Amino acid sequence: MSTEHKATLSFTDGTPSVEFPIHKGTIGPDVIDIRKLYGSTGKFTYDPGFLSTASCNSSITYIDGDKGELLYRGYPIEQLAQQCDFMDVCYLLLNGELPNVAEKATFDDLVTKHTMVNDQMNFFLRGFRRDAHPMAVMTGLVGGMSAFYPDSMNLLDKNQRDISAIRLIAKMPTLVAMAYKYGIGAPNIYPKNELGYTANFMRMMFGNPCEEYKVNDVLVRAMDRIFILHADHEQNASTSTVRLCASSGTNPFAAIAAGVACLWGPSHGGANEACLNMLTEIQANGGVEKIGDFIAKVKDKDSGVRLMGFGHRVYKNYDPRAKLMRETCHEVLNELGLHDDPLFKIAMALEKIALEDEYFVKRKLYPNVDFYSGIVQKAIGIPVPLFTAIFALARTVGWIAQLNEMIADPEYKIGRPRQLFNGAAHRNVKPIDQR
């Protein structure tokens, strides 16, 4: 971060002008350092949603929404998704570099050895209703891990943070699979150390004690790509939540549980669930034959009908993750022979319209990663309510990397946003008979 220029802020209310340093990052917009604003002027900035505010220094993930570019530690997401597996990406996000052969073997082995969860977690799980939303279960289970690992609770101890990171990355697939199996009344499948991270997850999800699970490499690779594409996404709502939560010094399990809770929202991690619910609704209302009626409602601002899974708040061009997920989507549909499934026919018809119809092209409402990842997960057999839990599984490593970066930053402080107060001014309490 370099400082070469300054910004001058002038006022019309008589407050003297103030100068602020301008910081230049490696790439991306310059940043005006306003930390001394309140001390110099007695004024705050007003930025609902923090859309114009850089809350931290970070060297993890970079997004250029106009170009449709996503970099993890400088590597384009396209290259990582095509040439690496999820464990490579986890190592990269945590350590800043891709692993060599020996480092990868050590890291994979370490994660594999921590995939089991304490057996008491089963009793905790049984306290939930069987029909509880998986994200309600995951919020409880992840936060509950705080009670099982008192040896890795101190955020200020790097060794303890490292142990927590491995435990969280390793155990999230086990917890998600447990939440799924519990919901359908099926027995848990324990991890199997001879399988890779994603194949192990697929077996815990879809295996049963009656027969040996057959690993399908196409489906495992598809799920692995979903994990890679969702591993981090800069300072989004859930990542900012994890950072804010951890800034108080709370334990890493509590901070990640806060991220899980934030991710649950339909405007964030729940977007692919909302997308599949939309496809199901279109099917219930007549399917492909009636898709024109649905599109007409989308174009009508007064109809209240929204097109889910298209466009992105950050990417003003095509979502780079969507291109990769589109390839995977068609690979999975071909592998499973599902191109003629009614729901997937609707999805492909919607995709065609969005890529060709001038209304959508002009507004850059391209299919995004949620659209394709939802279709892939549905095809693999993952129930719609579980989509966001799988997103949380994938994003855990990004949350941890961001948390670790913040704690190691000498400039970090406990988060304390300000406000523009517009409530009642000072007033006195009247006796109850005079109110």
Residues identified as active-site: 312, 370
User: Which two three-digit tokens encode residue 296?
Assistant: 């007409």
Distances in Å between the Cα of 118 and the Cα atoms of 107, 190, 192, 238, 326 are 21, 12, 16, 26, 38
Residue closest to 96 by CA, chosen among 411, 392, 321, 408 = 408
- List phi, psi (to 5°) of 8: -110, 125
User: Which two three-digit tokens encode residue 85?
Assistant: 């597996």
User: Which two three-digit tokens encode residue 346?
Assistant: 């609707």
Indicate the DSSP class of residue 84.
Answer: -
- C-alpha torsion angle, residues 255, 257, 259, 261 (rounded to 10): -140
Question: In angstroms, how far is CA 147 from the centroid of its own chain?
Answer: 25
List the 31-32 sheet strands across, edge first: 2-9, 18-24, 31-32
**What one-letter code names the amino acid at 275?**
C
Residue closest to 283 by CA, chosen among 367, 342, 335, 325 = 342
User: Which two three-digit tokens encode residue 364?
Assistant: 């850059």
In this structure, the strands spanning 69-72 and 61-64 are antiparallel
For residue 20, the cross-strand partners are: 7
Other Cβ atoms less than 10 A from the Cβ of 47: the count is 11
Contacts of 65 (CB under 8 A, 6+ apart): 312, 314, 315, 316, 317
Q: Where are the alpha helices (DSSP H) in 209-341?
A: 217-229, 237-246, 252-263, 271-284, 291-299, 320-336
Alpha-carbon distance 335 to 4, whole Å? 55
E strand residue ranges, 46-105: 61-64, 69-72, 75-76
User: From the DSSP assignment, how many helices (H) and strands (E) are in the chain?
Assistant: 18, 6
